[in-house]
Amino acid sequence: MINYNLRCHNGHEFDSWFQHSQAFETLQANQLIACPICDSKQIVRGLNCPNIAPNLNDTTAKNAREYAKQMRQKILNEFLNAGDNFADMARQYHQQWQNDGTALHQGLYGTIQLDEAVELHEEGIDIIPLPKNFLEPEN
């Protein structure tokens, strides 16, 4: 996994994890990366710095870890784990929305290959990638 600092054409900066640099380039070329602030798909890599462990007394780092922990718990408690069937189930959710305007009221998570993510995007189905081990318990 590799973490990139990213910037949209409106100047918003954010970071995201990718399996490798080619995964970033493929997602970027297919406009599958969106700014979390303005939803712009015009994304470029910013300057990267080495991964340095944050100071445990740093309030910002503590807040970020706490937010990630809460997010992880919410997903595990409230979302349906589709496992390797994520792409098919995402299509089913999307089809139901297209048919009658209703959405299933439970979120969905699982695993997906890069080519499947590209296909879902081309079908108009939005997904949000998470780091591979994000849902695993903390040590």
Q: What is the rounded distance in angstroms from the CA atom of residue 57 to the CA atom of residue 81?
A: 35
Give rounded-to-5 percent helix, strand, coil for the chain: 40, 15, 45
The secondary structure element, H or E, covering residue 37 is none
User: What is residue 71's three-state secondary structure?
Assistant: helix
Of 58-67, 70-79, 108-117, 125-134, the range with the lowest mean pLDDT is 58-67
Kindly state the tokens that stand for 88: 């098919």
Express each pLDDT in 40-92 by its tens digit: 999 988 766 555 555 555 677 778 888 888 888 998 998 999 999 999 999 99
Q: What is the pTM of this model?
A: 0.54
- Mean pLDDT computed over 18-45: 88
**Higher pLDDT residue, 116 or 132?**
116
Q: Are 87 and 120 in contact (CB under 8 A)?
A: yes
Q: What is the rounded distance in angstroms from the CA atom of residue 33 to the CA atom of residue 25?
A: 10
Q: What is the pLDDT of residue 138?
A: 65
